[in-house]
Structure 1
Amino acid sequence: MPTIMITGANRGIGLELVRQYAADGWEVLACCRSPENAPELKQLAAANGNISVHLLDVTNAQQRKVLAAQLKGKPIDILFNSAGVSGSWSAQGFGHCQAEEWLDVLHINVVTPMLMMQDFAANVALSERKIIANMSSKMGSIADNTSGGSYLYRSSKAALNMVNKSAAHDLARKGISVVLLHPGWVRTDMGGPNGELSVEESVTALKRNLANVTFADSGRLLDIDGSTIPW
C-alpha cells in the first residue's frame, strides 16, 4: 500500500487530498495542528482505516521532531506540503504591508516546507515513488505578475519556488523528485467564493499530475493542467 503524508489536512485542499487518496487505497498520514478541532478529518479517519491523524503544527520544531522519530524507517511515497496561509488580503497592497504579518507568511509558506523536507526526506527516499510536492501558486510566478499587489503571498510563493528548485538539485542523489503544484483558483477560505474550481475538481487534477510525475519533472512548477508555469 503506497503512503502519502499531508500537512494542513484538516480543511480545504488538504482535507480533500486525504479523502481522495484514502478512497483510492493509500495509507494517509494526515497532519494538522489541532486534531481535536478537526471534526471532518476525525470523521474521515473513523470511517476509513487507511487514515491516521497526527498532531503537527508545521512551525513547531518539537512536534516535527517527535513525529519524525515516530515515523523513522517508514517509507513515504509522497510528502505533500499543503499547509499554507495567504495573510490578510487587505494588508497586501502597496502602503499597507507590515513586517510582522509578512514574516509570519514567509515562515509558514517558505521555511516550514523546507524543514519538513529536511525532516522527512529519509522516509521519502525509502519509498517506491520518491516524490515531494510543495503547494505553490501561479501568483508566485514573476512572469505571470501583470497586476502587482499581493506582496506577502506572492513573495512567499516565489521564495518557495526557489527553495524547491534547490531541493530538487540536492535530493537528486537520493532519487527524489521535488515538484511544485499550482492548485488552480479554488473555492476555499483562501481562494474565496468566486474561484474557478471546486476543491474536488482541484484535488482530482493534482492527483493526476502527481501520478504522472517522473524524475525528469523534478524542479518544475506544474499548472493544474500539467503544463509548466514560467518562473
Structure 2
Amino acid sequence: MPTLVISGANRGLGLELTRQYLEDGWRVHAACRRPEQAQELGALAQRHRERLTVHALDVTDHERVAELGRALSGETLDLVFSNAGVLLDRGESALEVRAETLARSFEINATGAFLFGRAFLEGLARSERPVLAAMTSRMGSIGDNTSGGYYAYRASKAALNMLWRTLAHELRPRGICCVLLHPGWVRTRMGSKAAPLEPAESARGLRAVLARLTLQDTGRFFSYDGTELPW
C-alpha cells in the first residue's frame, strides 16, 4: 500500500488530494494546524480509520515538523507533498506591502515548505519510487511575471522554487525525485470563486503528473495539465 504525507490537508487542494489518494487505496498522513476545526477531514478520517491519520502540525513549528519526521522515519513513504501555503497580499503596491507580510509569506511558503519536505527523507529513502513534491505557483516564475503585483506571494514562491531545485541536485543520487507543481487557478479560499478550476479537476491533473514522473524529471516545474513552466 503506497503512503502519502501531505501538509495543509484541512481544505482546498490539500483536502481534495487527501480524498482522491484515499479513494485509490493509499495510506495517508494528513497534517494541518487545527484538526479539531477541519470537519471534512475529520469525516474522511471516520470513513478511512485504517488508512488516514491526521496530525496537528503548523509548518512554522520547526521542532514539531522534525518530530513528525522522526515519528514516521520507520515507514516507507512514497510521496511527500509540501502543500501548505498562504496568499497574504493581493492589491498592495510596492509602497504598501508590509514587512510583516513579506516575512510571514517567506516563513510559510518557503522556509516552512522546505523544512516540512526535508523532514521525511528517511522514510522516502525506503520507497522504490520516492517523490518529494511542493505546491508552488506560476506566480513564482520570474520568466512568466508579465503583470507584477503580489510581491510577497511571488517572491516567497520563487524562493521555494530555488530551494526545491537545489534539493533536487542533492537528492538525485539517492533516487528521490523532487518536483514543483502549479495547480492552476483553483476555486478555493485562496483562489477565489472567480477561478475556473474545481479542486477535483486540479487534483486529478496533479496526480496524473505525479504518477508518470521518473528520476529524469527531478528539479522540474510542471503545471497540473502536464506542461512545463519557465523559471
Deviation at 1:25, TM superposition (A): 0.1
Deviation at 1:3, TM superposition (A): 0.2
Once residues 174 and 117 of structure 1 are traced to their aligned partners in structure 2, the CA distance between those partners, rounded to angstroms, is 15
Specify the alignment match of 1:128 in structure 2: 128
Q: Is the 8 A contact 1:81 1:135 kept in 2?
A: yes
Q: Is the 8 A contact 2:9 2:32 kept in 1?
A: yes
Q: Is the 8 A contact 1:13 1:199 kept in 2?
A: yes
Specify the alignment match of 1:70 in structure 2: 71
Deviation at 1:64, TM superposition (A): 1.3
1:217-228 matched pairs, under 5 angstroms: 217-228=217-228
Secondary structure, aligned partner of 1:181: strand
Specify the alignment match of 1:8 in structure 2: 8
Q: List per-residue Cα deviations over 1:104-144 (Å, max 9, x = no partner).
A: 00010000122122211111111122100000111111111
Once residues 156 and 169 of structure 1 are traced to their aligned partners in structure 2, the CA distance between those partners, rounded to angstroms, is 21
Once residues 212 and 227 of structure 1 are traced to their aligned partners in structure 2, the CA distance between those partners, rounded to angstroms, is 13
Unaligned runs of 5+ in 2: none
Q: Is the 8 A contact 1:132 1:178 kept in 2?
A: yes
Specify the alignment match of 1:151 in structure 2: 151
Secondary structure, aligned partner of 1:134: strand
Secondary structure, aligned partner of 1:145: coil
Specify the alignment match of 1:86 in structure 2: 87
Q: List per-residue Cα deviations over 1:175-219 (Å, max 9, x = no partner).
A: 000000000000011111111200010001000010011101100
Once residues 163 and 173 of structure 2 are traced to their aligned partners in structure 1, the CA distance between those partners, rounded to angstroms, is 17
Specify the alignment match of 2:139 in structure 1: 139
1:198 aligns with 2:198: yes
Q: Is the 8 A contact 2:89 2:150 kept in 1?
A: no
Q: Is the 8 A contact 2:106 2:156 kept in 1?
A: yes
TM-score normalized with structure 1 length = 0.97
TM-score normalized with structure 2 length = 0.97
Specify the alignment match of 1:55 in structure 2: 56
Once residues 184 and 117 of structure 1 are traced to their aligned partners in structure 2, the CA distance between those partners, rounded to angstroms, is 22
Moved more, 120-129 or 9-18: 120-129
Unaligned runs of 5+ in 1: none
Deviation at 1:65, TM superposition (A): 2.8
Q: Is the 8 A contact 2:70 2:119 kept in 1?
A: no
Q: Which amino acid aligns with 1:225?
A: D
Secondary structure, aligned partner of 1:132: strand
Q: Is the 8 A contact 2:88 2:101 kept in 1?
A: yes
Structure 1 segments of 4 or more deviating over 6 A? none
Deviation at 1:169, TM superposition (A): 0.1
Deviation at 1:227, TM superposition (A): 1.4
Q: Is the 8 A contact 1:182 1:224 kept in 2?
A: yes
Specify the alignment match of 2:189 in structure 1: 189
Deviation at 1:93, TM superposition (A): 2.4
Deviation at 1:61, TM superposition (A): 1.9
1:22 aligns with 2:43: no
Q: Is the 8 A contact 2:143 2:230 kept in 1?
A: yes
Q: Is the 8 A contact 1:55 1:63 kept in 2?
A: no
Q: Is the 8 A contact 2:89 2:151 kept in 1?
A: no
Aligned residues with identical type, % of pairs: 47
